[in-house]
Every structure is written in C-alpha cells, then in structure tokens.
C-alpha cells in the first residue's frame, strides 16, 4: 500500500484537521503577526494574502515531512513541484507568521497541544515572487 494501512479512498476521506482550539490557546499566550489557512491554492496562493506589500516568504520545503499522498499524486500525475505547492497544502494546513525569537517556544506549545509544528521558513523583503521555495 502506498499509504501505509489506508487505501487511496480511505486516505482521501480522512477528516480535515481543525486547528481552532490549538490556535486560540496559542493566541492567548503569544503574539502572532499573520495566519494563513492553507486550502485550495496551496502555500503559493494562500500565504501571500497574509503578508504586507513589499514582504515575501522563503519556505524550506525540506523542513517538514510531505505526506505520502502528495508524493504519490505528483509521481502518478507527472506534476511539477511548483504546481504541487500552488494546488495542495503539502501537509501544512496552517502557517503562522511569528517572531523568530518566539518560534521555538511556540512550536513546543503547539506540540504539547497535539499538533505537528515546524519552523518552515522566514519572512523576507520580496524578491522575485511572494513565496520562494527552497530545499535546504
């Protein structure tokens, strides 16, 4: 099975992750400068909506494990990397823009709330596009 103990149908029918409890708890303890719910439009279209003009984001695509379903879809469909990040969330359902100083403690807090949390990038002065994808 390409999806562990799930069939393709079961994998596609897994429930959507709801972040409201964890994010509300986080907002009560830490300052958050921006939030992007990564839905249709993927990271490339959703994240720029939260950033002010003149700012962009550099995202390290190796900073979190990509769920097998996305790797399978990309391979079976012959889909280019950029299109995958424009269409799918690639396993990142919510992006929080926070200060670099607060990020380790916030990640730990979210993990204690039962969430998978990763430092996936940084806000930058916009260069050629609103979101730069790197694989460090």
Tens-digit pLDDT profile for residues 24-59: 999 999 999 999 999 889 999 999 999 988 899 999
Assess if residue 12 is contained within a domain: no
Number of domains in the chain: 1
Cβ neighbour number for residue 61 with a 10 Å cutoff: 18
For residues 43 and 50, give the distance between their C-alpha atoms in angstroms, rounded to a whole number. 11
What is the average pLDDT across 111-135?
Answer: 90
Regarding beta strands 131-134 and 55-60, do their DSSP bridges make them parallel or antiparallel, or are they unpaired?
parallel
Assess if residue 56 is contained within a domain: yes
Domain range for 36: 31-134
**In sequence order, what are the beta bridge partners of 59?**
121, 133
Per-residue pLDDT tens digits for 58-79: 999 999 999 999 999 999 999 9
Phi, psi of 116 (to 5 degrees): -90, 125
What pLDDT is attached to residue 14? 87
- Res 129 pLDDT > 90: no
> 3-state DSSP call for residue 71?
helix
Determine the Cα angle at 92 with ends 89 and 94, to 5°: 105
Assess if residue 6 is contained within a domain: no
Assess if residue 16 is contained within a domain: no
pTM of the full structure:
0.90
Q: Which residues of 64-77 are buried (b: 16+ CB within 10 A; e: fewer)?
A: beebebbeeebeee
The first and second tokens of residue 25, run together, are: 């708890």
Assess if residue 114 is contained within a domain: yes
Assess if residue 119 is contained within a domain: yes
The CATH number assigned to the domain holding 35 equals: 3.90.650.10
Assess if residue 71 is contained within a domain: yes
Phi, psi of 104 (to 5 degrees): -60, -45
- Res 15 pLDDT > 80: yes
Q: How confident is the model at residue 4 (pLDDT cuts 50, 70, 90)?
A: confident
Assess if residue 17 is contained within a domain: no
């Amino acid at each position: 099975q390409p999806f562990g103990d799930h069939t393709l149908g079961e994998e596609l029918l897994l429930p959507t992750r709801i972040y409201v409890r964890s994010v509300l708890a986080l907002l009560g303890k830490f300052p958050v400068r921006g939030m992007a719910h990564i839905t249709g439009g993927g990271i490339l279209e959703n994240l720029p909506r939260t950033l002010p003009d003149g700012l962009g984001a550099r995202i390290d695509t190796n900073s979190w494990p990509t769920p097998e379903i996305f790797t399978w879809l990309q391979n079976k469909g012959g889909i280019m990397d950029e299109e995958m990040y424009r269409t799918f969330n690639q396993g990142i359902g919510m992006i929080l823009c926070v200060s670099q100083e607060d990020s380790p403690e916030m990640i730990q807090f979210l993990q204690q709330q039962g969430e998978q949390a990763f430092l996936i990038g940084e806000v930058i002065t916009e260069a050629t596009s609103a979101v730069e994808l790197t694989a460090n």
